[in-house]
Structure 1
Amino acid sequence: MKTLKANPYYAAGIAAFVIWGFIPFPLKALADYPSGLILYFRIALSVILLVVISLLFRRDTIQKTYHALLSSGGSVKRQFILYTLLGGMLLTTNWLTFIYVINHIDIQTGSFSYLLCPILTAVLGFLLLKEELRPNQWFAIGLSILSCILIGTGELTSLLFSLMIALSYAFYLITQRILRAYDKIVLLTLQLLLAFILIGPFYTFFKGDSTVVLDGNFFLNVSILSALFTVLPLFLNLYALKELTSGAIGILMYINPIMNFVIAFVYFDEETTLVKVLAYVLIFISVIIYNIRFKKHRKNANGMPVPPASAGTLLK
C-alpha cells in the first residue's frame, strides 16, 4: 500500500526534473536576445504567476507565514529578511549565468554545473552549517575536484562558468536550509519579488546595446520559460517532497543534467573532447559514490543481527 501511495509523488518528482531537462529548448529559442533581457522578463512573469496563484489558492499559507514571522523575535525577523533577500539575489545570479552559458557557450557546461552542485552544497553545508559528511562522501568530493581540474586544464572559461552556476545555486540551497521552517512557495515568491524590485529600474542595463525587437515570439517563449519551465516544475517538486525524502529527490534531480547532456549531443550536435568526457564520467561516478549509504547491522540484546526492514517499510 505504501508503495502505491508513493507512486504519484515519484511521478511528480520525475516529471519536474524531466521538464527541467528540456529547458535548453526555450532558452535556445531566445538565443538572439540578450541574456539579461531574458532574465528580466522571466523573473517578471514568474512573479506575476506566483502572486496570482498565491492570492487565489494559498492565502491561508501566506497568513500562517506572516503570523509566524510576526510572533518571532527581532533576530529571527532580521535573519528572515536577510536570507530572503540574499536568496533572491543568488537565484537571479544563477538564472542569468545559466541563460548566458546555454546560449553563448554550450549546454554541456550548464549540465556539468548541476552535476557538481549537490557536492558543492554538501561542502558548504559542512563548512557553514557544520553538517557531517561520511568517508565515501569525502572521497566523492575528491573525485569531483579531480573532475574540475580536468575541465580547467582544457577550458578554464567553461570551468569558471560551471563553478559560478553551481556555487550560486549551492549558496541558494544553504539559505533555504536556514529558512526551512517557512513555506517554499511563499519564500520563492518573496525572493523573486524583492529581486525584481531591485532590478526593475535597470531595464536599459539588461537590454544593453541590443536593437532587437521584442515581438510576439519573444514573449511567447519567455512565457513558456516562466510558466512551463519555472513555476510548474517547482509545484511538482514541492508536491513530491510531501511524501518523498529529500534524499530521494536528490537522486531524481540528476535526471535534469543527464537529459541536458543527451539533448546537447543528439539534437544540438555539440562536440566534446576526451578530457571532457573523462571529467563528466568522474563527476557522475562521484555523484553515485556520494549517495551510497552503508547501513550498519543492528544487534538485539543477545548480540544477534536484526534483519533489515522490508522495501515496503523503507519507501515512505
Structure 2
Amino acid sequence: MKKYYYYLAAFSAFFIWGFFSLALKPISNYPSLDILFYRVFFSALTMTAINLTFRKAKIRKNWDDFCSMTTKRKRSIIVLTLVGSIILASNWFIFIYVVNHISVKAGSLAYLICPILTTVFAFFLLNEKLSNWQWLAVSISVVACIFLSINHFQDIFYSLVVASTYALYLVSQRKNSEIDKFLVLNIQLLFIAFLIVPFYPKYSGTIPVEPLFYLCLFCIVLFFTIIPLFLNLYALKGLNSSTVGILMYINPIINFGLAVFYFKEQVTLVQIVSYSLILVSIIVFNKKIFFSQNNKPNIIIEGSKSI
C-alpha cells in the first residue's frame, strides 16, 4: 500500500509541473530576468526557512557526514554543487524566456527530449551504456527535431538549449548523492542569489507593484518549486529512477496540451508528426520498462496464489 503513495507522489509532482505555464503567462509582460531574480530570492529564503525550522537534525547529520569525508571528495561535492547552481540558474532563465517570449510548445518540447538528452550526456560524460534500442530511440528523436526545425528553427533551437541545460544539471548532480538533495538545492539557490544580487540594481526593472505579479510568484515558488520537489524526493524513496523517469513525461504532455487547447497556439501537421515521433522514441527508449517480460511470471504467480 505504501508503494501506491510513492507513485501518487511522483505523479502529482509532474502533474503540477505540467501547469507551470499558467503561472508564467500572466506575467509575461515582465522581463524574464526580473522573474528569475524574484524566483531565486523568494525560493532561497523559503527553502532556508524550511531547513532551519523543520530540518535542523538533517542539516547536522549532513554536516557530520561531510566532515568525515576525504578532502578530495569534499572538493568534488563543492564543485558539483556550485557548478550545478550556475547550470540550474541558466536553465530557469532560458525556460522563463522561452515560455513567455517564444512559445509554450517550445517549453513543452524541451522536457520531452530532456530525458533522452540526459542519457546521451551520461553516456559521454559518465560512461553509462546505451542499448541498441535506446540508440534507435535517440535517432528517432533526432529525426523529429530535424522535422521541427524545417520551418520552426527558433522553437527547436530554444527547446534544445533548455533541454541541454537541464540534462547537464541532472548529469552533474548524479555524482553528488552523498548530501541530502533538498539541502543541496537550498545551497545552490543561496549561491545563485549571492551571484545575482550585485546585478539586481542595474539590470532589474522597477519593483513590481501589481498584486498579480506577487500572486503568480507565490504560485511559482510554492506550487511549482517547493511542493513538487518535496513530492519528487518522497517518491524517490520508494521508486527507482526509471519509473520516476517515465512519469516525468506527464509534465510536457500537459504543457503541450495547454499550448494547443488553452493558449490556442498554432499547430501544424509537421509539428504533430514530430511530437508523435518523439513520443514513439520515448516508448522505444523505455522498451524494457513498458514491455518487461519479467512482469508476466509475477502476474501468473500472484494469480495462482489468489486462486
TM-score interval w.r.t. the shorter chain? over 0.9
Deviation of the 1:308 alpha carbon = 3.1
Q: How does 1:198-209 map to 2 (within 5 A)?
A: 198-207=195-204
Sequence identity of aligned pairs in percent? 42
Residue of structure 1 equivalent to 2:265: 270
Residue of structure 1 equivalent to 2:118: 121
What is the CA deviation profile of residues 50-87 of structure 1, one whole-angstrom value per residue up to 9, with x for unaligned ones?
Answer: 11111111112211211111111121111111110111
Q: Distance in 2 between matches of 1:29 and 1:215?
A: 11
Q: State the AA in 1 paired with 2:297.
A: P
Residue of structure 1 equivalent to 2:53: 56
Q: Distance in 2 between matches of 1:259 and 1:44?
A: 28
Q: Distance in 1 between matches of 2:155 and 2:300?
A: 42
Asked if the contact 1:101–1:107 (Cα under 8 Å) also holds between the matched residues in 2, the reply is yes
Q: Distance in 1 between matches of 2:155 and 2:200?
A: 28
Residue of structure 1 equivalent to 2:36: 39
Return closer, same or farther for 1:22/1:312 CA change in 2, 3 Å cut-off: farther
Picking from 218, 223, 230, the partner of 2:225 is: 230
Picking from 289, 306, 309, the partner of 2:298 is: 309
TM-score (norm 2): 0.93
Q: How does 1:210-221 map to 2 (within 5 A)?
A: 210=205, 213-221=208-216
Answer 1 or 2: which has greater helix percent: 2
Q: Is residue 176 of structure 1 aligned with residue 173 of structure 2?
A: yes
Picking from 131, 139, 146, the partner of 1:134 is: 131
Deviation of the 1:134 alpha carbon = 1.1
Q: Distance in 1 between matches of 2:45 and 2:138?
A: 39
Q: State the AA in 2 paired with 1:193.
A: L
Residue of structure 2 equivalent to 1:159: 156
Return closer, same or farther for 1:171/1:149 CA change in 2, 3 Å cut-off: same
Q: Distance in 2 between matches of 1:273 and 1:77?
A: 51
Instruction: Supply the RMSD in Å over aligned alpha carbons.
Output: 1.8
Asked if the contact 1:112–1:257 (Cα under 8 Å) also holds between the matched residues in 2, the reply is yes
**Any unmatched runs of 5+ in structure 2?**
303-307
Q: Distance in 2 between matches of 1:243 and 1:310?
A: 21
Deviation of the 1:197 alpha carbon = 0.4
Q: State the AA in 1 paired with 2:179.
A: Y
What is the CA deviation profile of residues 81-125 of structure 1, one whole-angstrom value per residue up to 9, with x for unaligned ones?
Answer: 111011111111111111111111111000000000000000011
**Any unmatched runs of 5+ in structure 1?**
298-306
Q: Distance in 2 between matches of 1:248 and 1:45?
A: 31
Q: Distance in 2 between matches of 1:90 and 1:221?
A: 24
Picking from 85, 107, 110, the partner of 1:110 is: 107
TM-score (norm 1): 0.90
